[in-house]
Structure 1
């Protein structure tokens, strides 16, 4: 979905609020759970920019139910975070219910989201993730068991189907609602598409018309106009942003400005640098906490944090001159000082020749 290619204007560019159980999300544009990306440091930044709902990375219900330390560390949150949901996967209703009980007992979370869309083989070969779309009745039982086990709202994130030949999102959405879910988020692509290609807004509109629970649209949203157009064209109750927010948490600031009829405000280089520095430093602090209970004897906390940050940094500096060369050097950068020196070099290079990248304008 792309609305940047031409001018899009609205008489009243205001979103309709999203209600999930007792939660009211306004504007209704939320950050999608993303493995390897939606740890506390990035979530905090998105919330500072105005995002009203975030999620943890995906965790296994089995690990949560056993309170496995390597799993539970992904459920750590920063002070003041919220509203926030967990994002779990599994295929056994009893294990999912037990995990829901454990999650609620932590007292940190506002909802529990079930993964029914991940196409990664290590998840699907267990029958979980998008493979659950082949078993709507099992999914219904999972949701029902979780709803019975917790007072927190239970939601589901899914896709249109495993493939174009297996488009059963309507059946899956029916099972989710029958199980008692408070909402369903739909990535309007097939598992075989991964994150490529256009999204099917007609499918979102159809499911929204068929179901009585809130429907959240996901896929291809990279601007406030994309989000607003998705809600207007399909009637979905909310919009979920995934990769469109990577390297651009300012999108949520722009969503709020757009919702109030104001013009978006692309980040300056100084703002970009400040966010990068905050993100990396916070990630280092998170890893240092992990090291207290799960020590890494091969690398220091700073080295681990710098390695984990590489993916984010590529997004933050995407499109700027000198990034390709920096990426090669990043493989050897294992200190915060070295990483930030590289960032400064790229920013200086782009500023000196007038090519400093601002976020692409939302046309």
Structure 2
């Protein structure tokens, strides 16, 4: 049987920039937002059964996209959009929270967003093996996504990026919310459809109309921005799906609560089919968004290194990483942030 703690073995995702070693996570702020637990800006979903995952032949089965399985969820709420720069800035201002990118002093930036002069000076030590378009840039963080000379003044309605899983979980706790499970995220993204490739149907650009922000052109050399964007776009830039959610595909990868495992969900049992919260390491029963001690959690004896991300990003391209599909998934280390990773929050209903 495959190693239950394995990471993706197929072609790496466009978000394949990962820190080589974990640091001690920030202690979550004890302060709470003045309106912590407010459902404003969230959509309530009734839950119920749906078909999760995909067995598409052009997908990435090594990521654990399949098997297609019926999963049943309890009612829940999910943010209609990804958390914005403006919202994250309020969190930082009220709590003094310091993100992991700030603590490390650097983070990953897509080379297409850096000046040619800077890129020419980049050494192999600052590039990601196998994904040289990712560059470790000193001073890159949520307020300076591409490095010290960049800023977010004119990106207030863009998704907050350079956010690690730990950062996202801290924000969610401050807001009186939590990160969504992978199953909740996919239920919301499907918008009531069954086994479609995209929320709007089987083709990426129906009738030639762009429905999400992904990479056009020659990856990674040239993004033609045929969809209007050569980088992150506003969180509500595209029409919502049938449930009212914006930009669940493309734009930025979104963190989920679950630990990443490509095989945990293959076996049909209550833990994997009813309100699944993902595998729970035996030494980490109270992480992952909810306590794992209620009998529904699949306790795996072993460590995990990655958390689930869903949705793809503006860097996904059919020639390399077509993970901008509803059933696609990837994982990244929980202390890693990039210019194409963000999040949204959930709550029990």
Q: TM-score range by the shorter chain?
A: under 0.3
TM-score (norm 1): 0.24
More helix by share: 1
Relative contact order (C-alpha < 8 Å, sep 6+): which is higher? Answer: 2
